[in-house]
Structures are given as structure tokens and as C-alpha cells.
Structure 1
Amino acid sequence: MKILMLTGAAASALVLSLPAIAATAPAALPEPPSVTVAQAELDQLKTAEPRPMTGYSRARFPHWSAQGGACNTREKVLAREGSLVFQDGRCRPISGTWKSAYDGRMISSASQVDIDHMVPLANAWRSGADVWTTEKRGEFANDLKNSQLIAVSAASNRSKGDQGPDQWRPPLVSYWCTYARAWTDVKFDYGLTVTDAERAALQSMLDTCGAE
């Protein structure tokens, strides 16, 4: 029996010729609760001054954990929020398009997409996550069930940084309602606090939602 051995360029060509694997999304982007529910949650959030950043680092929030197969959290979010996303055998997106909800940009390269934590890790630390276990911080950083993770343009994510709604709002004003509902719900679900200025900003954005 003859065994065909491929090396060099021939082996590379064979790998490149293998079919891409279509993305299998875990679910659609979780929809935050209605403005009525978000308003009730905001009213119940505790107000407190920011806690010190002593001991904080992103490493205290283990993120982009394994999500089954070869996929990690980032790749799952890219798959669920993109259009016509195809992944290779290692779950890496090789094609697709993404619309950044923060600024409305259409993006055709996954390398230009950031996965934003709706409530940034540093903000969570300042509002109560400093006393969590590492396991809970990992759950927060990889939360695919709530509106905590969203695929957006790298530019908008880096402009936001770890700022709260009183310091930064999405450039796309039409997204303010959804942003405030999502932010409020995440803080409520995890029992995090808000500052007076943060509460006022969230209320202002919820007021753009209109009546339900």
C-alpha cells in the first residue's frame, strides 16, 4: 500500500482547501428587559461611592474561557452577532460581517471587532466585584446569558474604556435606550452599585425609550 506524504507548499495548499465550518451561534444577542422592568431595576439599585481600585487587574476576571469544542467566549460572541460568519476548524472567524451597535459601523474583519463588557471589568470592581470570588468574576467576564457581552467596533470600545454612562455614551443616540436597559440589568443581576451621576445618566437614557 502506498502512503502519500505531503510536505511544504503541497501540505499548506491542502489545509487551505479544506472547507470552512459554518458558525453555530449559541443564541441571538440576549435582549435586555423592557424599559418598564429596567426602570424598576434602576430604582432598586443601591447608590454608593466608587470602591478603591486596590488589587485590581483584568487577570482577576478570567475571561475568554472555553465554551465547548475549540471555541472560547470571544469566538462565540463573534459567531452569534455576525452575519454569514464562517469559522475554521479552530473556531476562528475567517469571514463575516458585523454591525457595531455603538456607532453603526459595518465591519468585515473579525480583527477589527472588539467584544465589549457592557459593564466594564474595572467598573464592576469599583461597584462591588472586588469582594467576589474569582469564580464569580469569571462568570461575569464570560456571561453569554445576559446583555453583558457585545461585539462592537474596536474604536468605540476603546473610546469607552472603563467609563460609566455618566462619562461615556454610545455615539449612536438611537442605541441609548438599549444601552441603558442592558447596563442597568447587568448591574441589577449581579448586585452591583451605581453612583449618583451614573444613576442620573442611566435615567436620562431610559427616558429616550418612550412609553411602553
Structure 2
Amino acid sequence: MTRTWALAAAVVVAVLVAIQVTTSGHDQAPYVARADVPTVAPGVDVLAGVVEIPTRVRSHDYRRAAFGESWTDDTSAPGGHNGCDTRNDILERDLVDKTYVSIKRCPNAVATGILHDPYTNAVIDFTRGNQVGAAVQIDHLVPLALAWDLGARDWPDDLRVRFANDPSNLIAVQGRANQDKGDSEPADWMPPNRVFWCQYSVQFADVLRGYGLPIDQRSAVALREGAATCPVG
């Protein structure tokens, strides 16, 4: 491993420490934006190993169903194969002050909780239900339609399903902010909460790198600018 890759790996580890939580019991820490982590070593390029292309070419054949019809009970999710689908697992990971209800095969689905939203820095009450529950949604950091345009259209079905349910690409956020983002790339949308730009940019780049996806030059600029807000370590 070269020195550049070693430093880039250190950045990713720092981000995962900042945003991932333990999966034992129900006393999990919230996914919150922090101004003091991660740190970035001087000279490290957050997009090391990510191919850059001139521009995103939007495809007209995108189908959400190509990434699976619904959430799965994936083993990559916290507590995978626990009877709860990925959405319930992410709510469990990212919310605090939770109560639970048993539904279908999920014995501990989050019934109520509080989200410290990293996108807006708002504090949001969550209550399970079609209307109230929409206040908290699960966002794909790298949107599925963006991934499709960047090359996921050529993936096998099982890889697309895995991508759609990968916890490293999922985060509970304010519903309105998720709707505002849509399938926008970083050049066109960054979280209103600028404190979260560091974590958002580094994690976004990590997902691209992990799945071998490129990024267009406009968004490469935005991601590097976001990563530049990380403290220097």
C-alpha cells in the first residue's frame, strides 16, 4: 500500500469511527454531526482511487426496482438477519430515546424515537406511521439514480440490491431534506448543515471507492471542498 493510500485509509477509519455505532443492545449513540472529527492529514485527496469523468450523463432507463423492490434483512446491516429489514435497522442505529413494537418478523421495530438530523441539525420526533413517520426518512448518501448513471446499470442484480441496503450508504435524515436532495449529486446539493460537510464528503467518496463508481468533475470539486472543512490532523 502506498503512503497516499495509507493516509486515505486513515481518513476513512476516522469517518467510520465518527459515524458508525455499536450494535449491542438498544443504548446506541446517535448519528450526529461533529465539528471535531474526522481529521485529514495534509495532502490527502479524499477522492484517491476514485475515477473522475467529465460530466454525469443522465439515463432515462433508471428503474428503482432494479435495486430491489424493498428493503431486505441483509447480513451487512447492523444485526442483519434479525427479522428486521434494513430500514428498521437504520432507525435503530441512528435514533435515540427509542421505544419498540413488534411487527411481522421484526420483534424490536422502532415505534418512537428522536433523530438528531445531520443534514439540518434539527431535532425531530419520530413516530411510526405512514404520515408521522415520513418526518424521518432513510437516505442513500450516493443516490440510487446517480449510481445508476455512474455505472450501476451494468451491475448484476444482487450487487444493486446490496448497494441499496448497504448501511455505509444509508442514513436517517429529516424527510424534507431528503426530498430536497432527491437524486442530486454533490455539485447540486450539499447538506444545509455545513458542519456535516466533512463527514458527508468523506463518506460519499468512500462509498464511490468501495463500489468502483466514478464521479464527475463538478462533484469532485464539491467533495474536495467539503473535505477541506475537516480539521487537519
TM surpasses 0.5: yes
Any unmatched runs of 5+ in structure 1?
1-22
Q: Residue in 2 aligned with 1:50?
A: 56
Q: Counterpart of 1:128 in structure 2: which amino acid?
A: G
Residues 53-95 of structure 1: CA distance to partner in whole angstroms, max 9, x if unpaired?
1431111111411242431000000001111222211243212
Number of residue pairs matched? Answer: 188
Question: Which of 165, 172, 181 in structure 2 is aligned with 1:142?
Answer: 165
- Asked if 1:204 is matched to 2:214, the reply is no
Q: Counterpart of 1:64 in structure 2: which amino acid?
A: W
- Asked if 1:151 is matched to 2:172, the reply is yes
Measured in 2, the distance between the counterparts of 1:34 and 1:173 equals 16
CA RMSD of aligned residues (A): 2.7
* TM-score computed with the length of structure 1 as normaliser: 0.79
Instruction: Say if 1:52 and 1:38 are closer, same or farther in 2 by CA, change over 3 A.
Output: farther
Q: Counterpart of 1:105 in structure 2: which amino acid?
A: A
Question: Which of 135, 156, 160 in structure 2 is aligned with 1:133?
Answer: 156
Instruction: Say if 1:65 and 1:34 are closer, same or farther in 2 by CA, change over 3 A.
Output: farther
Superposition deviation, residue 35 in structure 1: 3.4
Measured in 2, the distance between the counterparts of 1:120 and 1:170 equals 14
Q: Which has the larger radius of gyration?
A: 1
Measured in 1, the distance between the counterparts of 2:148 and 2:42 equals 25
Any unmatched runs of 5+ in structure 2?
1-23, 74-79, 128-132
Instruction: Say if 1:52 and 1:159 are closer, same or farther in 2 by CA, change over 3 A.
Output: closer
Higher strand share: 2
Measured in 2, the distance between the counterparts of 1:142 and 1:86 equals 24
Measured in 2, the distance between the counterparts of 1:37 and 1:70 equals 44
- Asked if 1:89 is matched to 2:96, the reply is no
Equivalent residues of 1:116, 1:149 under 8 A apart: yes
Instruction: Say if 1:109 and 1:196 are closer, same or farther in 2 by CA, change over 3 A.
Output: same
Q: Residue in 1 aligned with 2:13?
A: none
Superposition deviation, residue 119 in structure 1: 0.2
* TM-score computed with the length of structure 2 as normaliser: 0.73
Instruction: Say if 1:37 and 1:156 are closer, same or farther in 2 by CA, change over 3 A.
Output: farther
Q: Residue in 2 aligned with 1:106?
A: 123
Equivalent residues of 1:60, 1:134 under 8 A apart: yes
SS at match of 1:209: coil
Identity of aligned residues (%): 32
